[in-house]
Structure 1
Amino acid sequence: MKVKTAILVEPYKIEIQQREVSLGYGELLVKVQVCGLCNWELNHFRGILGNCPQTLGHEWAGIVVETGRGTNGFCIGDIVTVLPERLEGFAEYAAINYKNCYKVDPDIDIRYALGEPLKCIVTVLSAANIRVGDTGIIMGCGPMGLWCLQGMRSRFLKCLAAIDIDDSKLALAKKFGATHVINPLKEDAVKRISEITSGHMADFVIEGTGSTEVLNNALELLRPSGRGRLILMSSHEERSESFDFRKLIKVSGELIAAHPGYSLNQAEDERRAVEMLNSGVFDLSEIVTHQYKLDDIQKAFNTLNNKPRDYIKGVVVM
């Protein structure tokens, strides 16, 4: 069948085209209802990753409309979120292996059923190796940082601080579980963390900005006693030669790139993430700030590429 699909025809230019979708063995045909706009895909949009023309979209969810041969456990009408092998979520329909689909509770608003980025949160929190009584810091209160706070608010942490230069995002961070919020434009973050922790500093810092400057600032927050964990959550596709390894060595810190490949079992992380979504641990309703139609995909990516002040997370709703 022919379906409307967003195609990146050249860097910074997306067109809606008709594309053939067929149902293979072991696949479900899903009517896509929503697909998240991810900062990582800006690397494709800007011409850094992939070759044009190419499809986009990996944070998607929808409704099963047909079950192919060799599938089991799913019925027509099931709401599913996915762990896709291909970028093709910005489309009316998509075919996907049933083993990569996870059922979403019908009570969940499907606009907020983005399982794939929540899977990444499970990977990040596992990489942080959180222990009872730890002091943790989130640097950058974008969607991933805020979801990390939601995922950790039930943990037995001594302190969970959030750092951002946007007070409105810090207000959400406080609501989602941060014990302390710090705007580094208004106060010295290193001094404040030292005061809060009586000089112990952070057992782990999760960096969610993609800025090398912020990454270097994070080193100042790690405990000097050794083995403090600095977790990279953002995409650093742009090359940088300014990371301060001397400082990392000085505090005997651990640098962990907690991207999808870090996971020992992405399917298991996705399963856990969806269970947390279904049980109410993750709440996307206040984090999704911008919604677009498929026909407005160019505007959606332009806005993602040049975010207004009130932007946290965008989705395309089919």
Structure 2
Amino acid sequence: MNILPQQIKQLVNYGPNDYRLVSSPLPVPKANELLIKISACGVCASDVHCFGGAQMFWGSDSAPSWVKPPVVPGHEFYGEVAGFGEGALEHFGVALGDRVIAEQIVPCDKCRFCKSGDYWMCEKHDIYGFQSKDADGGMSEYMLLKATSRVHKIPTTLTMNECAVIEPFACSVHAVNRADIQFEDVVVLAGAGTLGLGMVQAIRLKTPKKLIVLDTIPERLALARKFGADLVMNPLEEDVVAKVKALTGGYGCDVYIEATGNPRSVPQGLNMIRKMGRFVEFSVFSEEATVDWSIIGDRKELDIRGAHLGPNCYQTVIDFFERKLFSAEGVVTDTYSLDDWQAAFHKAHGAESVKVLLIP
């Protein structure tokens, strides 16, 4: 029987640019809560933006802060069941030692969205790693999975890198599902980071007529090509709007999925997409994106669709990994210990990495 420590290491967010590695008491699970030993936790772009003080996380004069410090960051985690509160093993259908992952959101299970089954749009909207004590995240040696969590078992056949990208790839699958891709569609995906590379693989399974991927980093474009893109382009090196229109008889692409995090990608997509096309917005921006909204209505009558989190897609991603329909090869580029979290955040902010992991 494993003996659990009394004190654990945790990275704690006390405010913008004020994250500290501290020693904390081991969390004690309540009824229907699981204690998991973290195996790995990814550093998301949103973690980097939050650390840097982005307004969408910390609010402004007209909006309150969404983040509630002090809180342990990290929503791209997985681990092993190490302890449990009363009824938790039965509640989640797991056993001690099982590898598990919880979805990012901790639904309230009381609001209109949770009651209608749209739990990922929960009105309270606690996300692991952002709300103090209600949802401490995975940049820690151990963490609690709350009673309302959506928990999924991970088969032992998956590698560490595959497990570590289940969360972002679930978001990728949801975004691709929102695009409603048809066989005859020309699809343009802007952004070939971790999420974009998951989207490339999901889009290929939808078998569109053509998949074009845009990014400014050659190494990421090479990975996109490897995962199934028909054509890759660098917007810094060529007029991608003109080229896509030339490839489509002047009409433009049928579907544009925005996953860059760069506000300039939004007007690029609006100019590139055909009339009555489908525009899927996934990115988390650190600043506002300004566009001519008359393009959406008066000029093109576009369908604009948002994509948030990865609802009902975790089991799909796990299944795709088991069937070798998805690959994590080349996606996880760097691993750091929890002690080296500053170097990990710096690396994740740079262009030379894709997915950076913290290993407690």
Of 76, 85, 93 in structure 1, the residue corresponding to residue 142 of structure 2 is 93
2:303 equivalent to 1:283: no
Partner Cα distance (2:212, 2:161) in 1? 29
Question: After superposition, where does 1:144-293 map in structure 2 within 5 Å?
Answer: 144-224=195-275, 226=276, 228-240=277-289, 242-249=290-297, 250-260=299-309, 266=311, 268-293=312-337
By how many angstroms is 1:191 displaced? 2.4
Q: Within the alignment, does 1:19 sit opposite 2:39 as a pair?
A: no
**CA drift at 1:67:** 3.8
- Displacement, 1:258? 1.1
Deviations 1:185-204 (A, max 9, x none): 33221222123223342111
| 1:108 corresponding residue in structure 2 | 158
1:111 & 1:165 partners in 2: Cα distance?
A: 24
- 1:297 partnered with 2:341: yes
8 Å CA contact 1:61–1:110 kept in 2: the answer is no
Q: Which residue of 2 aligns with 1:126?
A: 177
CA-to-partner distance for each residue in 1:186-235, whole Å, 9 max, x for gaps?
322122212322334211111111222111011121113x2x11111110
- Aligned counterpart, 1:77: 97
Cα deviations by residue, 1:86-141 (Å, 9 ceiling, x for unpaired): 32100101121475221222121123313222221122012111122211111111
Residue 314 of structure 1 is matched in structure 2 by: 356
Query: Is 1:42–2:84 an aligned residue pair?
Result: no
Give how far 1:58 is off: 0.6
- For the pair 1:60 / 2:88, whether they are aligned, the reply is no
Which consecutive segments of 4 or more residues in structure 1 shift more than 6 A? Answer: none
2:72–2:140 contact (8 Å) kept in structure 1: no
Q: Which amino acid aligns with 1:258?
A: A
Please give the alpha-carbon distance, in whole angstroms, between the structure 1 residues aligned to 2:325 and 2:51.
Answer: 32
* Alpha-carbon distance between aligned partners in 1 of 2:302 and 2:253, rounded to the nearest angstrom: 11
Runs (5+) with no aligned partner, structure 1: none
State the alpha-carbon separation in 2 of the partners of residues 282 and 230 from structure 1.
24
Quote the offset at 1:56 in angstroms: 0.2
Per-residue CA deviation, residues 249-291 of structure 1 (Å, 9 max, x unaligned), is: 211112222123xx7xx2x233323322333333223111121
Unpaired runs of 5+ in structure 2? 1-5, 58-66, 107-127, 130-136
Find the aligned partners of 1:69 and 1:277 in 2 and give their Cα distance: 33
State the distance in 1 between where 2:8 and 2:162 align.
23
Q: Is the 8 A contact 2:29 2:144 kept in 1?
A: yes
Task: Tell me by how many angstroms 1:159 deviates.
Answer: 0.5
Equivalent residues, number: 308
Q: Give the Cα separation in 2 of the matches to 1:280 and 1:269.
A: 16
For residues 23 and 226 of structure 2, what CA distance do their matches in structure 1 show?
43
Write out aligned runs for 1:3-18 (5 A). 3-18=8-23
TM-score using structure 2 length: 0.80
| Kept after mapping to 2: 8 A contact 1:164/1:182 | yes
2:132 aligned residue: none
